[in-house]
Amino acid sequence: MQSQRKTHVSTTVNGEPREFLCEPHQVLSDVLRNTLNLTGTKEGCNTGDCGACSVLLDGTLVCSCLVLAAEVEGKGVVTVEGIGEEGKLHPIQQKLLEHAGLQCGICTPGIVIASRALLEKNPDPSETEVRYWLAGNLCRCTGYDKIIRAVLDAGAVMRGQ
């Protein structure tokens, strides 16, 4: 690794200002996990297919494996570590637990982030809308059904029902 090529990046991660040095080719998921030690974000495929690396970039749902770390200069990133509070799970997290919407858990951070993005835009989605929205989040364990129920249920909680 040629250190003279390192790029300095100032950004905001989960509401806190963060600075890091990265190689120009490094993707955001790599820096989140290996430089900032935010290992909640997972890497499954690194080609945009699995959604395990989902984060919000200035509020938009993206695959962090297809964003260069250098691109987040001046932007805001939200990872799964920014969802819920210490000792108090976000309704999406709570409902995933209650519905057994996770087994190995590799897909879960991506599911949490993607579902949050959906419920923010569309607080009362239909089952079909949830299924299409999460089509880019692959899960090898649950068979999806429990995840879908959990997200619908979390939506109801967030709407105060």
Ligand X SMILES: Cc1cc2nc3c(=O)[nH]c(=O)nc-3n(C[C@H](O)[C@H](O)[C@H](O)COP(=O)(O)OP(=O)(O)OC[C@H]3O[C@@H](n4cnc5c(N)ncnc54)[C@H](O)[C@@H]3O)c2cc1C
Binding site for ligand X (CB under 6 A): 48-49
**Sites for another protein among residues 71-130 (CB under 8 A):** 71, 73, 114, 117-118
Of 103, 102, 129, nearest to 115 by C-alpha is 129
* Phi and psi torsions of 154, nearest 5°: -60, -40
The residue among 11 and 41 lying less far from ligand FES, judged by its C-beta, is 41
Distance of closest approach, residue 111 Cβ to another protein, in angstroms: 12
Angle at the Cα of 149 from the Cα atoms of 120 and 79, rounded to 5 degrees? 45
Written as one letter, the residue type at 111 is I
Distance of closest approach, residue 161 Cβ to ligand FES, in angstroms: 27
User: Is residue 142 at the binding interface for ligand FES, with CB under 6 A as the rule?
Assistant: yes
Sequence-distant (6+) residues with CB within 8 A of 131 are 144, 148
Q: Where are the alpha helices (H) located in 63-144, listed in sequence order?
A: 91-98, 108-121, 127-133
Distance of closest approach, residue 159 Cβ to ligand FES, in angstroms: 26
Residue with tokens 């900032």: 36
Which residues contribute to the site for ligand FES (CB under 6 A)?
43-46, 48-53, 63, 65, 102-107, 139-142
Which residues contribute to the site for another protein (CB under 8 A)?
2, 5, 7, 24-25, 27, 46-49, 51, 54, 57, 60-63, 66-68, 70-71, 73, 114, 117-118, 132-137
